Amino acid sequence: MSEQGSVAAKIEKLRARLREKPALHFIAGEFTDAGSEDSFVTLNPATNEPLAEVARGGEPQVAQAAAAASKAFPRWRALSAKERGRLMLAIAERLVAKTEELSTVECLDSGQVLRIVRAQVARAAENFSFYAEYAQRLFEGHTYPMDDRFLFYTVREPVGPVGIITPWNAPLMLATWRVAPALVAGNTVILKPAEWAPLTANLLAEAIAEAGVPPGVFNVVHGFGEEAGAALVSHPQVPLITLTGETTTGKTVMANAAQHLKKLSLELGGKSPAILFADAELEAALDAIVFQIFSFNGERCTANSRLLVERPILDRVLQEVTRRARNLRLGDPLDPATELGPLIHPEHLDRVLRYVAIGQEEGAQLLCGGRRWGERGNFMEATVFFGNNAMRIAQEEIFGPVLVVIPFDTEEQAVQLANDSSYGLAAYVFTSNLERGHRVARKLETGMVWLGSHNVRHLPTPFGGVKGSGTHREGGLYAFDFYTEWKCIAVPLQRVQAPPMGKEGP
Ligand code: NAD
């Protein structure tokens, strides 16, 4: 059999296995339907054919997972951080060993293209090895001597079962980015994956079990946001919730979590600007900008979906961005040559196409794309609009391969346009003037700024946004600030005399 033939045969075998075996919840170390009476079907976005049946969880399944996670918590937190770190390394190794299976399943389930998905699987493993190394940093605290009378010192404590709710655009990578710090810090986990791309969560569960993590420490409950997700947010035994998703979902989750005063980390939507000054190194800047909007099929929270261009280079930029968008290779996400795959779901394709119509209705100029592509699946052409920042297509998150180009005349105007947004996740600034780059970066109302680069992630750094883009930072030690509670312990260095009360009687 040719190499291509054998790859196709392997994929077909995997597809058949997914069809035959429903994806179950993972609770207390077992794959189980946990009494779910219903199921749902996940589709292959490249064809919209059913890919697998998935157990549909709700309150009873969340309750079982919460009980398992609560039961496992005391022993898990009592392990040494070194031992937990060793188990994180073992998980990383299992993920690396499963690279082909994970990549293929993620491609089939999410429609993300192979070249992106392979990198994401490597990142998923790295998330665990990174936090394995960080295990010792859990012991970094502070001491506060108070004259020579007292010493106060701080320690981090795990909190308990963490509810992790994830989206469909980078399912495995985004789940591991939360699971790894939560576990290494001594918490147990209940993961609720997105219903449109739930399958790699079960492969992650397999890897975690194979690594030797005790039953109940990591659990998965599948289901819809309004059912399984909402049940997790309101379960009294789950004190921490981290959600990555839309801003509207973040608001609902915050309102529901308020009933229980839960600690929340919200990583939400974005409408990130790239600011392109006329003095930038244009080819390199365009490489970064085109990648940052059209990679991940445009379904990327940090996409530079607004391109602010200094007017002297506007015509050239419009021409070149349009040319490159037209050149993108659309096709089967499993083909290593494909650059732009299908959108996740027919409903999402409709939503993105509706934004194309909205853009045209509000007078934006459609420079290329804007149409569905191919006979089947949820493919859409890479789309470039010329418009202004007040338009809905420049204000609302589209989460598809749609770029809006907006001109500016001065640095002040560029900053004002960039900040005229209800979101504040990332920004990208392209200029050869170093001082201006730093000056503009400081003025931007976003959680992250890249100068002269696309989004290159460095794991110790804080990731997250301001305004409608979220409430927290994850990454490095910042994640520990969420997944642990600081405790302050006071030690008297000499006898402490409290003011006597009630000693003498009336
Ligand atoms: P979504 O908000 O529809 O769903 C995210 C998750 O929340 C899913 O698991 C869903 O089932 C669950 N959910 C929905 N309603 C819920 C409820 N009432 N209670 C509890 N859980 C509920 O988001 P999506 O469409 O899956 O993902 C795309 C969004 O995610 C975009 O807005 C994107 O910008 C954002 N995102 C943000 C980041 C980041 O780090 N800031 C990263 C990736 C994606």
Q: What is the pLDDT of residues 460-492, one digit of tens each?
A: 999 999 999 999 999 999 999 999 999 999 999
In DSSP terms, which residues pair with 404 in a beta bridge?
Answer: 306, 385
Q: Is 395 exposed, middle or buried (0-12, 13-18, 19+ CB in 10 A)?
A: middle
The per-residue pLDDT for 2 is 73
> What average pLDDT does the segment 132-138 reach?
97
Domain 7-268+472-488: give its CATH architecture: 3-Layer(aba) Sandwich (3.40)
9, pLDDT greater than 90: no
Separation of 251 CA from ligand 1 center, angstroms? 11
CB 85 within 8 A of CB 71: no
Q: What is the pLDDT of residues 152-182, one digit of tens each?
A: 999 999 999 999 999 999 999 999 999 999 9
CB 337 within 8 A of CB 436: no
Predicted structure pTM score: 0.97
505, pLDDT greater than 90: no
Evaluate whether the domain defined by 273-451 bears CATH number 3.40.190.10: no
The per-residue pLDDT for 1 is 60
Q: What is the pLDDT of residues 29-86, one digit of tens each?
A: 999 999 998 999 999 999 999 999 999 999 999 999 999 999 999 999 999 999 999 9
> What average pLDDT does the segment 331-343 reach?
97
pLDDT-based confidence at residue 8 (cuts at 50, 70, 90): confident
Same fold, 7-268+472-488 and 273-451: no
397 lines ligand 1 (CB under 6 A): yes
Separation of 206 CA from ligand 1 center, angstroms? 24
Report CA-CA distances (Å) from 77 to 84, 183, 488.
9, 9, 19
By annotation, the residues acting in catalysis are 267, 301
pLDDT-based confidence at residue 98 (cuts at 50, 70, 90): very high
470 lines ligand 1 (CB under 6 A): yes
The per-residue pLDDT for 4 is 74
CB 182 within 8 A of CB 138: no
Grouping H, G, I as helix, E, B as strand and the rest as coil, residue 479 is: helix
- Residue whose Cα lies nearest atom 18 of ligand 1: it is 226
The per-residue pLDDT for 130 is 98
Q: What is the pLDDT of residues 206-222, one digit of tens each?
A: 999 999 999 999 999 99
Separation of 448 CA from ligand 1 center, angstroms? 20
Separation of 400 CA from ligand 1 center, angstroms? 15
On average, the pLDDT of the chain sits at 97
10, pLDDT greater than 90: no
Give the mutation target among 249, 305, 397, 459 for probing the ligand 1 site: most ligand atoms within 8 A of CB. 249
CB 355 within 8 A of CB 393: yes
424 lines ligand 1 (CB under 6 A): no
330 lines ligand 1 (CB under 6 A): no
249 lines ligand 1 (CB under 6 A): yes
226 lines ligand 1 (CB under 6 A): yes
- In DSSP notation, 94-133 reads HHHHTHHHHHHHHHHHH---HHHHHHHHHHHHHHHHHHHH
Separation of 248 CA from ligand 1 center, angstroms? 9
- Give the domain ranges of the chain: 7-268+472-488, 273-451
The per-residue pLDDT for 267 is 97
> What average pLDDT does the segment 289-309 reach?
98
